[in-house]
Structure 1
Amino acid sequence: MTTVSRCYRCGEQYEEATRVRCTCGEPVWFETDTTAFAWDECRDYDGMWRYEPLLPIDRPKGIARAAGGTPLVRSEGLDAVAGCQVYVKDEGEHPTGAYKDRGSAVAVPHAIATSGGAVGTVSYGNMAMSTAAHAASLDRECVVLVPDEISSVRLELIGQYEPTIIRVDGDYGALYDDALTLSTELPIAILVSDAPARISGYKTALFEICEAFAPDVPDAIVLPTSSGGFASGIWRGIRDLEAAGLLDEPPRLYLVQTAVSDPLTRAFDAGEVDPTPLEDDEVGETIAHSIGNPDPPSGGRALAAVRDTDGAVVSLRDEKIRVAQRQFAVDGGFCVEPASATSLAGATRLSERGAIGADEDVVLIPTGTGFKEFGTGDPSVATKQTSRTALPEHLASLLAGS
């Protein structure tokens, strides 16, 4: 099992398997020996465990074995919308409907092996569901810390896995730092959004994309961004493949945020190395609640990933996100959550700016399914009505005009 971690910024190395942050304040990730890795070295396993040699644990039991292996679909119907040649990496195909399963598939078994106690997380969305599900599949106690004002719909989705759910009032954003402290003081491993084992799991999405394109490489990858953890994982995967000699020219990484909570966009536009946390009065309501993070813990690392690959960060308002969510469905056939729709809206914005060319291969990563979302779509669905006896004539009339 890999226990060596390193800070991406200052290079400090640690032997502690449970360390999350460097003494300099930045997040750490696990070191990976890629010198002997080649595509033909992949394991004969399904999903993300094909890349077991590049992961910090061996393939575990439970639903972790169902993680990864999501489809990469060439979606010509979205080309005109996005202004490029679109491929969709549909992460909504995971067991709990989101990319978080890649992280939980590694982080939950890793935590069980290294700490032996309960596992937990700070989340009221996809990460909560994913952590609880993976813990349940390994018969491990799970504790989920949610905000006091959480909706009943969210509670129902999380509660189906029967974790212990604790509603916490006060500054919910401050629970990230609290979780790091509690994990050292109590017999519980609270797996935050950028825990090193999660990052290891996330990088497998990049491996799958690049293996599918090999020996070519996509020109760009566009993904929604909240904490910066998934972007960090994609960048870690790029660095691994570069070290293995499998990637000469990395794809450009484009990150997308909601305009009402976009500290990374502001930092990128200002040329800053780290994002400045937004105050409460700077943050608004959005349908893309999954990425409304005013203080991303891996924000500096996400910005480094963007600049290292000559990418960019953009943000969009809800009206653009709603349109993109509908276009994903009508023009591509994909049901995505609002946060995921920002990948398409972002690609459209970048094409309009000239950052993405019409002849370029661009991978959009919708990070979560829309089937778990309630009240985010258009409630005024158009319908037609007729009697059973009049149905043949009615259909003939409709089809004649199609």
Structure 2
Amino acid sequence: MTTLVCYACGATAPLGERKRCSCGEPLWVETDASDFSWPDGPLRGVWRYSDLLPVSATSGVAAAAGGTPLVRTPALDEFVGCRLYCKDESENPTGTFKDRGSAVGVAWAEANDREWVGTVSHGNMAISTAAHAAGAGLNALVLVPEDVPAPRLAAIGQYDPEILRVSGDYGRLYYETLATESPVEFVNSDTPLRVAGQKTTALEICEAFTRGAREARSELLGEQLAPDAIVLPTSSGGHASAAWKALRELREAGLLDAESVPRLYLVQAAACDPIATAFREGADEVSPVEGGETIAYSIANADPPSGTRALAAVRDTDGAVVSVPDDDIRLAKRRLATEAGFCVEAASATAFAGIRRLTDAGELAADDSVVAVVTGTGFRELDADSTATELVELADLSERLDAVTE
């Protein structure tokens, strides 16, 4: 797999030469999935699907990427209005789905004698890229905005990458890094190698349903070969594009037919929702918007580089794109913690808030099996002062315990 192809116009390019097509759309790795079947053997996670990846399995932290659990969460069915499953990506090495793309991108760079890998991020992708570079013994370059908060710098800096704070239009850095000739292999949000790794999220979901059906584990996964729907929070459109790529490959392999392909639903924060705006307006392309402030800051991308590709993914699978306000995100985040025990970042909670909106609109039915992708842990976002606690004197403890448990 050494060729990239444009989903929109079909143009090709060698892998490693460039990352976007001359037509302006992003490229992805061309894959022949016609002979693919669900694998057997000991390989787990991302590398379980090596036959569909542009690089072979590697060691170190990359070997731990993927293989995250798919959890049935009936306690939340009433809240969201359907049969809910959570794909818990917080189980990845650095706590988010970004490890899937970093594992493949860094492994490819190592196999092709690149000494440097880089990314444009001040959050999960920066942490993940730096961690995987450290695990592979490569140098990492991370470009962050000049006003990046100190705690985020500390989280990134623990892996000892080269960090450059950049002034000016941070949104342009994505394109600048891909256009500049440099020895650094940039694995940005929707670049081909990152998308190749991130498609394994959807591959794992569909394999879990297929194996569940074969093993008649109806109490957990039912008898379906795939869920009715997969719901993802969306920023650049890279993860959505990756899920679409996975479903296309499974259809090519004959592992899914037209009736069993899950519908893809994307959710954005209402304060910054360019893909949802394009979907509502029936547009063919996603245009930039004036983004506002939102608690789901990690998906607040006003000009998503794979926005139009994500829009195509939704329409091809008969899905939809919705946006949700911050109050709905807060409620979903709290209910996930108090009723299902999941601590998720605000960006992840948007998926659950979106599912509620989709069921209210009749887009999802009560008996639909719906997988919400929990894209990342919420433990990085916790505020130590956010939860009030009661101070109890030791001498009063027995009396207070009785009062609490009455």
Normalising by structure 2, report the TM-score. Answer: 0.93
Shift of 1:66: 0.3
Q: Contact 2:15–2:29 at 8 Å: present in 1 too?
A: no
Q: Which amino acid aligns with 1:258?
A: A
| Equivalent position of 2:18 in the other structure | 19
Aligned residues: 391
Aligned: 1:368 with 2:376 = yes
Structure 2 residue 261 is the aligned partner of structure 1 residue 250: yes
Q: C-alpha separation between the residues in 2 aligned to 1:313 and 1:111?
A: 34
Pick from 272, 282, 286: which aligns with 1:271? 282
Q: Could you tell me how far apart the structure 2 residues matched to 1:296 and 1:115 are? A: 30
Which residue identity is paired with 1:383? T
- 1:231 equivalenced with 2:240 (yes/no): yes
Residue 116 of structure 2 corresponds to: 118
Which residue in 2 is equivalent to 1:353?
Answer: 361
Spell out the pairing of 1:201-220 with structure 2 (5 A cutoff): 201-214=197-210, 215=213, 216=224, 217-220=226-229
Contact 2:228/2:368 (CA < 8 Å) preserved in 1?
yes
Match in the other structure for 2:218: none
1:177-202 per-position Cα deviation (integer Å, ceiling 9, x unaligned): 111122xx221112111111111111
1:386 paired residue among 384, 389, 392: 392
Which residue number in structure 2 is paired with residue 181 of structure 1? 179
Residue 390 of structure 1, CA deviation: 3.1
Matched with 2:217 is: none
Q: Compared with structure 1, are the counterparts of its residues 197 and 226 closer, same or farther at alpha carbon in structure 2 (3 Å cutoff)?
A: same
Structure 1's 148 and 382: CA in aligned 2 closer, same or farther, altered over 3 A? closer
Aligned match of 2:54: 56
1:114-147 CA-to-partner distances (Å, cap 9, x unmatched) read 3523111111011100000000001111110000
**Shift in Å at residue 61 of structure 1?**
1.7
- SS of the equivalent of 1:365 reads strand
* Alignment CA distance shift 1:16-1:383 (3 Å): closer
Distance in 2 of aligned mates of 1:219 and 1:388: 53
Alpha-carbon distance in 1 for matches of 2:41, 2:50? 7
Counterpart CA distance in 1 for 2:306 and 2:386 is 39
2:107 is matched with 109
Aligned to 1:320: 328
The residue that corresponds to 1:288 in the other structure is 296
Q: Is the 8 A contact 2:233 2:351 kept in 1?
A: yes
Structure 1 residue 336 displacement after superposition: 0.3
Distance 1:288 1:382 in 2: 23
Q: Tell me, what secondary structure is at the counterpart of 1:313?
A: strand
Pairwise CA RMSD: 1.4
Aligned residues of 1:18 and 1:114 also touching (Cα < 8 A): no
Residue 222 of structure 1 pairs with residue 218 of structure 2: no
Q: Which residue number corresponds to residue 35 of structure 1? A: 34
**Does structure 2 retain, via aligned residues, the 8 Å contact 1:115–1:189?**
no
Kindly report structure 1 stretches of 4+ aligned residues shifted beyond 6 Å.
Answer: none
**Distance in 2 between the 1:22 and 1:380 partners?**
46
- Aligned-residue offset at 1:171: 0.6
For 2:143 and 2:386, the matched residues in 1 are separated by 35
Post-superposition CA distance 1:196-216 (Å, at most 9, x none) = 111111111111101111142
In structure 2, stretches of 5+ residues that fail to align are 214-223
Contact 1:115 1:187 in 2 (8 A): no
CA contact (8 A) 1:8 1:29 kept: yes
**Paired residue for 2:6?**
7
**Is residue 135–residue 142 contact of structure 1 (8 Å, CA) maintained in 2?**
yes
Q: Distance in 1 between matches of 2:334 and 2:159?
A: 31
Partners of 1:394 and 1:263 lie apart in 2 by 51
Residue 294 of structure 1 deviates from its aligned partner by: 0.3
Shift of 1:395: 1.6
Displacement of 1:33 in angstroms is: 1.7
Structure 2 letter corresponding to 1:263: P
TM-score by length of structure 1 reads 0.94
Give the match for residue 145 of structure 1: 143
Superposed displacement of residue 313, structure 1: 0.5
- Segments of 5+ residues of structure 1 without an aligned counterpart are none
Q: Which of 254, 267, 270 is the matching residue for 1:259?
A: 270
Written as runs of structure 1 = structure 2, the 5 A alignment for 1:326-337 is: 326-337=334-345
Give the superposition deviation at 1:387.
2.8
CA 1:96–1:392: 2 relative to 1, 3 Å: same
Q: Partner of 2:77: helix, strand, or coil? A: helix
Deviations 1:247-268 (A, max 9, x none): 1121111101111111001100
Instruction: Tell me the SS of whatever aligns to 2:381.
Output: coil
> Is 2:199 the counterpart of 1:199?
no
